[in-house]
Amino acid sequence: MRILVVHTAYVEPGGEDRVVEAEVALLRDRGHDVRLFGWPNSSLAEMTTAGAAATALWNVEARKQLKRLLDDFRPQLAHVHNTFLATSISVVHGLIGRGVPVVATMHNYRYACANGLLFRDGAPCEACIGLTIGRPALARGCYRDSKAATLVATGVRLLSRSMGTWQKVQRIIAPTHFGRQILVRSGLPPEKLVVKPHFVDCAVEPQFTKRGYAAYVGRLSNEKGIGTLLEAWKRLPTDIPLRVAGDGPMHAEVVRASVGRPIEMLGRLDSAGIFELMAGAEVVVAPSDCYETFGRAAVEAFAVGTPVVAPDHGALAEVVTPGATGVHFRARQAGSLAGAVADLWADAAARRLMGRRARAEYESKYTADIGYGALMETYKDALNGSETLRHSAEAAG
């Protein structure tokens, strides 16, 4: 197939960028002709404030470039990932206008929430779910703690709703059932929403003989539960070392917390380094205070046979099965997290059994082969749905 992948790269690469990179590589490895299209968000820094806002709402130049690409490439299908901010929904409507079947992956909750996280003041927030405008977000400045920036984000959200952007695509992918429920509550058509977990391509063999440390991998930020993690480690015995891989706005806070504590900072690691770190860990801790949309770090841990300590809310509560592939703690409760880690640390036999079950879970749900099959099934449904719509339009005309 000829597949056009649309994605706006983030200024700081994150989980969404990794998923897109992995899917493009997978499709190309399986013989598909894939082109990437999208304006990076870093391009907005070169514009005036007004110019950046106008681009986020409707990128005229991106729409023109898309037209030239469609004339040249003639894709059979487009897979849209992130259009916020720089690429804009103008590209989605350009694809729809040319009759290109569109599959969209919702990597976050931006259709329901200005900041895309359903998170405010250190806790999950559902105030704007189902609202057309999202006045609570405007009043509070939820996006980047700025009312001006939130006005732009809310404008993008309102424009997509008023134009029915995502209602007009053929299929919408949610990585978890939890995420799908949020999107349905937000007004997206349930008949178009499918659950397709992200796959993880892991070349590292699982290890069931561990090396005596816990690990955290991810962004060092408030919504990821870093504050909860650091407070929990203050309550744990000093013989439970923690290795932290990642970077972010709470980097300095983690450095301060590591003084006199068994916390080792590793910085950013590449994919091979992440798998090596997780393979040697007794447990991987995923302490997110926010709901998350998937929990890639948990699945990476499963791939190398390591159990996961996860909160009892959001997508991670769905991905991690307590007593089987890991344990749950009460979300945002440092004492509960410390207790969960301590209990699992004290039971080596339970950790080994959970590690083997975690690997089995990975093999049954999250491998590249399984991910490819699910992606092709979604594409097939989208193409069939597009053909049905075309025939209906011809009959009506």
Q: What range does the domain containing 262 cover? A: 214-365
Q: pLDDT per residue over 227-278, tens digit each?
A: 999 999 999 988 899 999 999 999 999 999 999 899 999 999 999 999 999 9
> What is the tally of structural domains in the chain?
2
Query: Among residues 221, 195, 198, which one has the least CA distance to residue 288?
Result: 221
> 271 and 178, same structural domain?
no
> 250 and 153, same structural domain?
no
- Residue 221, SS3? coil
pTM of the model: 0.94
Please, is 321 exposed, middle or buried when counting C-beta atoms within 10 Å of its C-beta (0-12, 13-18, 19+)?
A: middle
Q: pLDDT per residue over 178-207, tens digit each?
A: 999 999 999 999 999 999 999 999 988 898
Number of Cβ atoms within 10 Å of the Cβ of 19:
22
> 174 and 33, same structural domain?
yes
State residue 397's pLDDT score. Answer: 52
> 156 and 29, same structural domain?
yes
Is 208 inside a domain boundary?
A: no
Is 207 inside a domain boundary?
A: no
Q: What's 334's domain CATH number?
A: 3.40.50.2000
